[in-house]
Amino acid sequence: MTSDQETRPGIGEVAKDLGTGKIGFVMGEEGGKVQLRPLSGGIEWDAEPGHVVTPPAGEKLSAQVAVENDRSRWGV
């Protein structure tokens, strides 16, 4: 296992794609890419493995609060 695999968030964990700046759940790996799904659900996107990191606590919390605010506002 490479050091980047040892430090990268695992399946089901919240991660940040440094290539796009988006935060999502790690869904798996396929074809050398990491699949991430938005916290609010939706279509997965592919990220370069070296771009997938654990987001800082403040960014993670902010993203989660935004999702919950949308759910309470729009009932989704």
- Which of 57-75 are b and which e, b meaning 16 or more Cβ less than 10 Å from the residue's Cβ? eeebeebeeebeeeeeeee
Predicted local distance difference test score (pLDDT) of residue 56 = 94
Q: pLDDT per position in the chain (76 positions), as tens?
A: 444 555 789 999 999 999 999 999 999 999 999 999 999 999 999 999 999 999 999 999 999 999 999 888 877 5
Predicted local distance difference test score (pLDDT) of residue 54 = 96
Taking the domains of the chain in order of start, what are their residue ranges?
3-74
Q: What is the value of pTM for the model shown?
A: 0.83
**Fold of domain 3-74:** SH3 type barrels. (2.30.30)
**Across-strand partners of 30?**
33
Residue found by looking up tokens 């089901």 in the block = 12
Predicted local distance difference test score (pLDDT) of residue 29 = 96
Predicted local distance difference test score (pLDDT) of residue 1 = 42
